[in-house]
Amino acid sequence: MNILFVADPLEVFRTYKDTTFSMMREAQRRSHRVFACEPRHLGWRSGEVAHAEVRDIELTGAEHDWFQVRESRVRPLRDFDAVVMRKDPPFDGEYFYATHLLQQAEREGVKIFNRPGALRDHPEKLAIMEFPQFLSPTLVTRSADEVRRFHQEHRDIILKPLDGMGGMGIFRVGPDGLNLGSIIETLNREGSTTIMVQRFVREIAQGDKRVLVIGGRVVPFCLARIPQGSEIRGNLAVGGKGVAQPISDRDREIAETIGPLLNERGLLLIGLDVIGDCLTEINVTSPTCFQEITQQTGFDVPAMFLDALEEAIDRDRTVL
């Protein structure tokens, strides 16, 4: 098969931990042809099909010069058996436009994973609100007064922007309410920006768990990202320590409820963030932690992903 990965520049990949790299490596191991482009390389000319300037690459196995380019040229997206959308957040205007270009390719018969419409329909922080049975008390609002009332009720809260990534812009306010007004002003910009507020979950000390669901099936190990020092954030991007561990019964309950449902909506791969017993985020753009889980447990997450990808493509071909 020919598989195109739409991702960040290959030159910035940190291959020792990059999930997209691990997908490419497994695809090449299975003798699939690997191609890559960035969202900025996507295009669509009126009266023609969606296209992209793509690089046909071969992984070398080297640590630094890890790929070589066989050829680089503009090709119709329908030349590919699968297009895997792996651009990292933020989900900004350019990401939004990229999903529309990919959706045109989908109308032309191209198989896109995750589906562009499903990416738009499941913003990573707001998507959790569909599943209140798994949440810590949560509020989404622009209103400073609502935030203050929420704090008065729950006393210890987390505030965060809806478009943050990697732990960016997350604040904790305790019972004393210290700096609450300033934090609200910073995040909601005088009522012009919607934010999320949640009751603080003390189990963050044991880690912010990343639970992966692939093709509606749950990966049996998660990665607990444990805050270090005085940090309240476990994100690896801000220095959290990643510890792989078997998923708990509660993790499985959450994943087996949400995973098959979102898979039916076109989300082949999702990453659930769980603190204690509470769901905090549903990652759909470019869920990570494949390599950390595989290296620490021996469970081959990239192989599970390629199995699901091949199965999905074969299923669609059978339907057609």
Q: Catalytic residue at 142?
A: no
Q: Exactly one of 81, 251, 281, 292 is catalytic; name it.
A: 281
114 is catalytic: no
Task: Determine contact, residues 283/267, Cβ cutoff 8 Å.
Answer: no
CA of 205: how far to CAs of 39, 128, 152, in Å?
37, 22, 24
Number of other residues whose CB lies within 10 A of the CB of residue 49: 16
| Contacts for 31 with CB less than 8 Å, ≥ 6 apart | none
Q: Is 107 a catalytic residue?
A: no
Query: Looking at residue 136, what DSSP letter applies?
Result: S
CA 303, CA 315: separation in Å to the nearest integer? 18
Task: Name the token pair of 39.
Answer: 């969202």
Amino acid at residue number 218: V
The closest of 95, 12, 86, 59 to 285, measured between CA atoms, is 86
User: CA 251, CA 32: separation in Å to the nearest integer?
Assistant: 33
Annotated catalytic residue, options 86, 87, 111, 125: 125
Element (H, E) at 12: none
* 199 has catalytic annotation: no
Catalytic residue among 87, 111, 115, 160: 160
User: What is the rounded distance in angstroms from the CA atom of residue 279 to the CA atom of residue 69?
Assistant: 41
Whole-angstrom distance, CA of residue 69 vs CA of residue 34:
10
Rounded Cα–Cα distance for residues 100 and 120 (Å): 9
CA angle 97, 120, 39 (to 5 degrees): 35
210, 235, 251, 292: which one is catalytic? 210
Q: Active site residue: 26, 38, 124, 273, which one?
A: 273
Q: Is 160 a catalytic residue?
A: yes
Annotated catalytic residue within 81, 87, 283, 292: 283
Residue tagged active-site, from 233, 235, 263, 292:
233
219 alpha-carbon distance from chain centroid: 15
Cα 167 to Cα 129, 186, 236, 246, 255, distances in angstroms: 19, 16, 9, 24, 22
Q: Which of 225, 235, 251, 263 is catalytic?
A: 225
Active site residue 252: no
Active-site positions read: 125, 160, 210, 225, 233, 273, 281, 283
